[in-house]
Structure 1
C-alpha cells in the first residue's frame, strides 16, 4: 500500500533543513525534461543554491513554499510568489510546480495546486498567474479552472537546449472571507 501523502507549508528554517530533498526533486524534474529555468546538466550545487535562495525569500515573506511528502520524503513542491509591486498587492505568481517522476499520476500536482490556491486566498491574493511549457501541466491547470491566456513561441529552452513555447494562465480566487473564514 502506498504511503499517505501529506502537504505542509515550510518555514524558512524547514526549507533549509529540507534543501537536500528539494534539490533531489528539482534535479529529477530537470533530468526528466521539465523547463523550469535550469539547463542540463544541473549540478547539485546549483540546485542547493537555488533552494537556499528560496528559503531566504520565505524568510523575507516574499514567497510561500508548500511540499507534498510521504514517509520516504518530499515528492513535490510549489511556490506562491507574493513579492509584487505596490500596485499589484492583490495578486501572486504560482511557480515551480514540481513532482518527482516516480510520484506522478497520483494527484500530487492537483493537491499542491489546491494548497497554493488556498494559501493565496488566506493571504488576500485574488489574481494568480503562472506559466508552463508542459502540456500535461496545461491539462491540470485547465481542469482546475485556470484560464489560458496564450502561448509565446520560443520563450524558453528545454533543459537539453531546444527552444520551447510557454503558455500563460491566470485564475481569480475569492478572498478567504468569502469562504466563511
Structure 2
C-alpha cells in the first residue's frame, strides 16, 4: 500500500473525477459490492450518480486513494442533516478497486475518513455494511462498535435479499 496516496478532494477538484469514480463504482458493483446498485451498472450511469454526489452542497468530505494506475478507492463522510445532530456523520460508499484489495487501502480510507470527520467537528460516525463481508471485519478491526443486524435490508447485486450490519464509532477530538 506504500504507493497509494490518500487525499480529500476539494469541491473544484471533485467534479472532474466523476468519470473515474463512476468506473470505480461500476467495477466494484460488477465484482459483487452491495453499494445501492444492482448488477449491470454501466459506467456512464455510475458517473452520473457520482456527478450528483460531487455537486451536493452538504459539507461532505470525499476522500480518494490513488496509485500509479489512478483512482483505486473512495469514501465519503456526510454530515447528518437534522438540527439536533450536528455532531454526527455517515460514512458512505467506501469502494476499493479489486486490483488493490487486501493491501490496506480500505483501512487507509477509513483512517482518512475518521480524520476528515474530526476536522469537520464530528464526534460520532455511523455506517452499515453487508453482513459477513470483508468490510464488516475491517470495521470491527478498526474499533467500530457493532450495533446489530437488520435482516433483508437490501438486495445483493444479483437481486437476493441480504442483511446489513450497523456500526458506530465515537471519535476523540
- State if a TM-score over 0.5 links the two structures: yes
What do residues 10-53 of structure 1 show as CA deviations (whole Å, max 9, x unaligned)? Answer: 12222211111111110111001111001121022220111101
Residue 97 of structure 2 is aligned to residue 100 of structure 1: yes
2:145 to 139, 144, 147: 147
For 1:83 and 1:52, locate their aligned partners in 2 and report how far apart those are by CA, in whole Å.
20
Higher helix share: 1
**What TM-score, normalized by structure 2, do the two folds share?**
0.95
For 2:39 and 2:135, locate their aligned partners in 1 and report how far apart those are by CA, in whole Å.
21
Is the partner of 2:115 in helix, strand or coil?
helix
1:75 to 72, 75, 78: 72
8 Å Cα contact 2:114/2:171 also seen in 1 = yes
- Which deviates more from structure 2 when the two are superposed, residues 120-129 or residues 15-24? 15-24
The alpha-carbon deviation at position 3 of structure 1 amounts to 7.2
What do residues 93-148 of structure 1 show as CA deviations (whole Å, max 9, x unaligned)? Answer: 00011001111011000000000000111111001000001521111000000000
For 2:15 and 2:44, locate their aligned partners in 1 and report how far apart those are by CA, in whole Å.
14
**What TM-score, normalized by structure 1, do the two folds share?**
0.91
8 Å Cα contact 1:148/1:169 also seen in 2 = yes
Correspondence for 1:165: 163
8 Å Cα contact 1:151/1:168 also seen in 2 = yes
Correspondence for 1:26: 25
Correspondence for 2:4: 5
What do residues 63-93 of structure 1 show as CA deviations (whole Å, max 9, x unaligned)? Answer: 1100000122100000000142100000000
The alpha-carbon deviation at position 62 of structure 1 amounts to 3.0
Aligned CA RMSD, in angstroms, stands at: 1.3
For 1:71 and 1:47, locate their aligned partners in 2 and report how far apart those are by CA, in whole Å.
23
Q: Which runs of 4+ in 1 moved over 6 A?
A: none
Task: Name stretches of at least 5 consecutive residues in structure 2 with no aligned partner.
Answer: none
Correspondence for 1:179: none
